[in-house]
Chain A
Amino acid sequence: MFQFARFAATRAVLAILTLLLVSFIVFSLMELVPGDCAERYIAFKNTQGAVITTADIEAERVRLGLDRPYIERWGKWVWYAFQGDFGDSCILRLNISQLLGDKFKISLGLSLAALVLAYMIAIPVGIYAAVSKNRIVNNVLRFISYLGLALPNFLLALMIMLFSTIYFGESLTGLFSKEFRDAAWSWPKLVDFLQHAWLPVFILGWSATAFAIQTVRALMSDEIGKLYVTAAEARGVSGRRLLMRYPARHALAPIINSLGFDLNRIFNELPVVALILTLTEAGSLLIDALAKSNDQQLAGAIIFLLTASIVTINFLTDLLLAVMDPRVRRSILK
């Protein structure tokens, strides 16, 4: 137990180090953009007719703490970021946590749902593809997984938009119906949300599923020819019991390990899909912040949150693997 705690602690430290490094990159990106908050605030005053001088800007910098050394400001940003406070967006003049609200949770929920959907399809189909000797099945699956790459989520979203507009006359966009958009969470709102959310989940899950099928199939066909499977078969284990208890357990371990990167891939596509389907969640907010208003504080916060979720998932899967796989467990306990 003590060794396991030590293992968990090491992993946690590594995860935090990664996050710090990411936060440094993100913070540097935010800082490198020309123009800081002081200039923006003062520029706003200028549009209101006030006469401003360089001294005003300097005074504003001191007020906002922008005259402090780089590392100190980074430290402060990270300190508050870990507590979930990302400061104010100086373009929208709003607290970022307030602005994000539920939106980031919605994004995370959509992505996780897509991930679950992907593996719910990929694990049985992938195992079947590895076991089956049927050439047609295999070729069809191979083609589908290639298409998962060639028809990336955002093109798929575009195509679905195109066909739904032509054939159904409505465009299936958004996450909420009008009447629920600003309402507090309630049962009808949740139902309404689920009615809208299936399409983004399906689209986000599309290429993830294609990739996952490919991975499961490859891992499974590696395991299935091994001697322990033959040995188990010789002992009279067969059918689904054989597959599930022997090769599948081995084959699925690397998949648990790579869940974090799968989530990464889904997040990757989220902003563009969100733009097409006009979803009101963090992905589209990110595009707004970067492409339209150049709001670096908001963009930085969202990228940091995305990465933090991935790092957390990676950490959790490491622990899960250690709990589930006796080989990993033993290597820790040594």
Chain B
Amino acid sequence: MTDTSNTTPTTTAREAAAQKAKEAYFTASQRQLIWQRFKKNKSALVGAWVLIILILSGLFSPFLTPYDPTIAGRDKEYQNGAPEIPRFWDENGFSARPFIYTTTRERSIKTNFRWVTTVKTGLEDRRYMQFFVKGSPYKLFGMTFDTHLFGVDKGQIHLFGTDSTGKDIFSRTFAAINTSMAVGTIGVFIAFVMALIIGGVSGYYGGWLDSILQMITDTIRTVPAIPLFMALAAFVPDTWSAETRFFFISIILGFIGWPTLARRVRTHLLTERNQEYVLAAQLCGASASHVIRKHLLPSFTSYIIVDLVISFPYMVLSETALSFIGLGLKDPVNSLGVMLQNVTSADVLLNYQWYFIPVIFFITLVLAFVFVGDGLRDAADPYGETS
């Protein structure tokens, strides 16, 4: 570059820094470049943070939430209960420790035989929140704990209210995030493996094998996915346990999700397989699977990762739709779809709107995934760098 002997030390340092930055740019690995571009995209970055927080809160849900999400954790005294919002003050004065009020339920001739809940707002009716309380035991990473982040000194606290059996909606929401992530992960993984095998074979060999596989792929793409899911899910016998059902549903989701990805793998392989480096490997005597795994796949790993992130929310949403109509997961496995079953009744719509609180979390989760996926797609595109 320029002759540095005549210039002042500060410019030398600046130039050296610029030089270093340039060098870093040219020697950066693909992953570093993607990260650099991804960081510039503010909405994707926010999405990534939201996603990380949601995933972590899903993983640590037994600790973060006060009660067992299944029927075991139900509150017999507070069914269809409204959300209880902790407060720091009321007309009786301030309190450094957040508190909620005591509620009583009554059903008699006076209330027309409906359960009527009354909230007592006196000073002596305050129930104070406690932190790191001992509660129902749970398993996390193979160990058993019984400490929960928060609780209340008397009775139970329900931040998002309870459902018709008295299950805590707050606890269920976080458990459901976990389930959805698990279903999505298994589904995406299966779809991914199938897409790699089918797309890989079809793209690498080409010819009649390609034509047949493409015909099958296109046919599966023609059938609307949810009706097909429904038809497959109808096979699940009622006698299966909730866990078996869970795995079966995830597998079905994977089995139907592969065609789009398989098509992309195939298109890429079709163009890549005529490149010289492939020929070189073949001339060295490499087997087909070796060429695909070691030479072709690494050439588009980043695209595959992006596709996986983008297809993730579709899996989650399909599961939700399926569970919602009663063909997917069932209690005690918890997911948004399971939680939304039966909410269309007028009773719920008119009186118990807090049943819908989990929807907000799921819209956030899916939006976060879409933002991150889009950001990654832009970042992974080497020609996308315009500015």
Contacts and interface: CB of A to CB of B under 8 A. Distances in A.
A25 B113 CA distance: 53
The 8 closest A-B pairs by CB, nearest first: A150-B366, A165-B349, A267-B224, A150-B367, A268-B224, A290-B234, A21-B219, A290-B230
Interface stretch (B151-159, B184-192, B272-280, B322-330): B322-330
A267 B222 CA distance: 11
Interface in A21-37: 21-22, 25-26, 29, 32-34
Interface in B330-387: 340, 343-344, 346, 349-350, 353, 356, 359, 362-363, 366-367, 370-371, 374
Interface of A: 17-18, 21-22, 25-26, 29, 32-34, 146-147, 149-152, 154-155, 158-159, 161-162, 165-166, 171, 260-261, 264-265, 267-269, 271-272, 275-276, 286-287, 290-291, 294, 296, 299-300, 302-303, 306-307, 310-311, 314
A154 B356 CA distance: 13
A298 to B, nearest CB: 11
A291 B234 contact: yes
A280 to B, nearest CB: 15
A229 to B, nearest CB: 19
Given A269-B226, A271-B325, A29 B219 contact: no
Nearest to B232: A29
A149 B370 contact: yes
Interface residues of A, dominant DSSP: helix
Contacts of B224: 264-265, 267-268, 303, 306-307, 310
For chain B, the bracket of interface size reads 35 or more
B324 A311 contact: no
Given A33-B234, A149-B366, A150-B367, A171 B223 contact: no
A271 B326 CA distance: 12
A157 to B, nearest CB: 9
Given A22-B222, A149-B366, A150-B370, A286 B344 contact: no
A166 B327 contact: no
Interface centre among B218, B230, B313, B362 (most CB of A within 10 A): B230
A311 B231 CA distance: 20
A299 B313 contact: no
Contacts of B218: 18
Contacts of B231: 26, 29, 290, 299-300, 303
Interface residues of B, dominant DSSP: helix
Nearest to B233: A290
A220 to B, nearest CB: 17
B28 interface: no
B208 interface: no
Contacts of B362: 155
A220 B222 CA distance: 26
A165 B325 contact: no
B114 interface: no
A26 B215 CA distance: 16
Given A22-B222, A158-B343, A290-B234, A150 B313 contact: yes
A314 B221 CA distance: 12
A158 B359 contact: yes
A112 to B, nearest CB: 14
A42 to B, nearest CB: 21
Interface string B220-257: 01111111101111110100000000000000000000
A268 B227 contact: yes
B281 interface: no
Contacts of B233: 290
A306 B225 CA distance: 11
B340 A158 contact: yes
Contact of B325 (A151, A155, A291): A291
Contacts of B230: 271, 286-287, 290-291, 299
A206 to B, nearest CB: 14
B368 to A, nearest CB: 9
Given A146-B367, A147-B367, A150-B313, A299 B222 contact: no
Interface centre among B215, B226, B374 (most CB of A within 10 A): B226
Contact of B346 (A165, A261, A272, A300): A165
A151 B343 CA distance: 17
B216 interface: yes
B55 interface: no
Contacts of A260: 222
Given A147-B367, A151-B363, A287-B325, A22 B223 contact: yes
A150 B325 contact: no
A307 B228 CA distance: 10
B33 interface: no
Nearest to B321: A272
B317 interface: yes
Interface in B134-174: none
A267 B224 CA distance: 6
Contacts of A261: 221
A291 B346 contact: no
20 contacts: A18-B218, A22-B219, A22-B222, A146-B374, A147-B363, A159-B356, A162-B353, A162-B356, A165-B350, A166-B349, A166-B350, A261-B221, A264-B221, A271-B226, A271-B227, A272-B324, A275-B344, A286-B227, A299-B234, A303-B231
